Amino acid sequence: MTIGIVLGQKQKSHFMIAPTATLAEAIALMRRESVGVLLVGAGGRVDGILGEREVVRAARALGVAGLAVTPVDAVMSRRVQACRPEDSLRQVASRMIARDVRHMPVIDDRGLRGVVSLSDIFTRRLHDALREVADGYAAVAGTVR
């Protein structure tokens, strides 16, 4: 199973925000779109990632008033780790866990394709494992008569 298959099953897989946008604007976008991460950049270029962790840390350090004036690029994670559509779920999950990241942009030769999360990967792996178990039970039940 590849990342491209998982990405193809998502409705909308990423949202971008400009590095100069405020944290308050980023929070509003995350809330409106029900996402936990935004890619930061412009023109298809990813300069960083802003996730819920960065927002919580910023809110704690800056207070609510600070969110309205602080640009996203002041707190975004600049350690952008990317994967490719042909990468396996196992490979990408291992990289994400080792690097302590929850979301990873998916990039191919044409550019940014979306974002995959650990949750996306684990949900797909669990679904596949449950299907294998059900198929196994069905095969056993079919042979017992």
Domain that holds residue 77: 3-143
- The tally of domains found in the chain comes to 1
Write down the pLDDT at residue 145: 55
| CA dist., res. 84 & res. 62, Å (int) | 36
Question: The domain spanning residue 114 has which CATH number?
Answer: 3.10.580.10
Write down the pLDDT at residue 141: 72
Q: What does pTM read for this prediction? A: 0.80
122-144 per-position pLDDT tens digit = 887 676 666 767 767 677 777 65
77-119 per-position pLDDT tens digit = 998 999 999 999 999 999 999 999 999 999 999 989 999 999 8
